[in-house]
Structure 1
Amino acid sequence: MPAAIMLDAQTSFVTDPVSPCAGEDFTVSWQEINVGDEPSGEYQDTFDLNDQGSGSSDALICDSLEPGQSVTRSLTFNLPAGNYTMTLVIKAGVPLTLGNVIIDECL
């Protein structure tokens, strides 16, 4: 079976901090695994945060994964307050909706 990169079902994604503040950097991390029996080669992930048409999208060039290898990927964002839908596209595959992150105004 050729390389097949998937979101690792054992760990999905996390934001750091868990409750991001508007206008401050926060990091989104997710874990991927190659469930195929061939190396993946270099590929691209795209992580999108969307709040009804506003938000941010960022791409990440990913190093090759060997069969059975898993890795944690991460990107840093800085956004205004809002309720953002998180979507991840791994290796030009089907978009995966990961849920929402609420970014609040913090004191």
Structure 2
Amino acid sequence: MKHVGAVLVRDHTKLDADVKTLAGRLNVTLPASPSAEQKKELAAVQAKDGSSAYDAAWLTTQDAAHRKTLALIDHESPADLTPCPSQCRRALTEASCPGRPATAA
């Protein structure tokens, strides 16, 4: 778990920087804090801290969040990602799930 956590910290630090850069280029305002749903999910995982159920809860939550993100990326139309549809999709997909091929734009 510690290795998985370290990889996620590394990858998400890069992803956050890339998304901030992209949002600036596209003049998009990013949320300043987690959504109510995200806060609820985090609280549910944190409630299991110190128990044998924590790792499974954390992994399940991470898996669901990543699948949701990838589904959003896959279902964006090229027009929604103007001015850089294929480049943005490729960058977001690779940053969210390194090694996963980007869906064709």
Q: Same fold (TM over 0.5)?
A: no
| Structure (1/2) with the larger helix percentage | 2
TM-score of the pair, normalised by structure 1: 0.28
Highest Rg: 1 or 2? Answer: 2
Higher relative contact order at CA 8 Å, sep ≥6: structure 1 or structure 2? 1
